[in-house]
Amino acid sequence: MFLRSDFNGHSKYILFCRGNEKFSPERREELISRNVQRLYISTKDTDKYLKYQERNLKYIVEDKNKSSLEKSGALYQVAKNLTEDLLDSPRSGNHIERASTWINNIVSHVLKDEDTFSSLFEVTSHDYHTYTHSINMSVIGLLFGKYLSLKPHELDSLGTGMLLHDIGKVTIPSKVISKVGRLTEEEFTAIKKHPKAGLDLLEYRSNVDGLSLKIVIQHHENHDGTGYPYGIGGSDIHLFGHISRIIDVYDAMTSNRPYASAKRPFAALSEMKEKMSVCFNEELLREFICFLGPKDPRKKLRTTDKLYNLPSFTK
């Protein structure tokens, strides 16, 4: 860890503590007495730092001296690192185990901390990648699940399923996944295989239960039976399937994608209600709108939303 000293407009980093040295309470006191607010690490040590954060996540989440935002930030950083690893090697039992520990920590944060709604929304990314989308799904799903008064073990399954819902995409050629523009019929057929591919990857994992798997297999099923892979509808879709369908669309619409810029939450919700309502369970969509209300802080960050171009808003 390094101390930064600014002199004549130049910054210098001075070694404070080596990686193998113990950061004792006395040294901490010394920093406090010198009013040092921040220590720095070398960018080449980022990975080590993230691993340290991941190992200590439980203590970070339980630390009464840390703000809700700091805890949410640490949870998001750790999730980014582990979701990237997970998508790189989706068959690794170790990564699934890490995901399950992360879920325990975030569920405890969501249940114990009253400010998680705003702090978690604040740290979520607004750019669409499979890994950020997976984390956003899990975060928004857990907050919505808490709003719906789900039990802690149900939240565990919901959060896990949401985090892993698109893992089957790793089996599809990346040129199809990241293609900008209209997909050919063949490409769309390939995309439609990802829920089943995800199920095949996860089905035998002891820490991914049946409820989580419902999300993996059903998150593209529509309420009116027009979705995929099975074209089931209504009550044949599990509650978690319905929840994941809503949040999957919502997160995609409110994130910057290569072919479309992010919409504001209100514009996305209006479009979901006006133009896509057959895809969703009506009652749950209404609950989701009430849960989100005008509170998603991402609303401030939109500069190019199409709110006033929606047919229902033109005069």
User: Which residues here bind Fe ion, judged by CB under 5 A?
Assistant: 166, 248
Nearer to Fe ion, 221 or 248 (CB): 248
CA separation for the pair 252, 239 (Å, rounded): 20
Nearer to Fe ion, 166 or 305 (CB): 166
Nearer to Fe ion, 166 or 271 (CB): 166
* Residue 287 identity: E
Minimum Å gap between C-beta 309 and Fe ion is 25
Minimum Å gap between C-beta 18 and Fe ion is 43
Nearer to Fe ion, 54 or 251 (CB): 251
CA separation for the pair 215, 133 (Å, rounded): 14
Minimum Å gap between C-beta 68 and Fe ion is 27
Instruction: For residue 229, say if its preceding peptide bond is cis, omega within 30 degrees of 0.
Output: yes
Three-state DSSP state, 2: strand
Nearer to Fe ion, 188 or 313 (CB): 188
Minimum Å gap between C-beta 166 and Fe ion is 4
R_g (Cα) of the chain, nearest Å: 21
Minimum Å gap between C-beta 197 and Fe ion is 10
Cα dihedral 86, 182, 173, 263 in deg (nearest 10): -10
DSSP strands (E only) in the chain: 2-7, 10-15
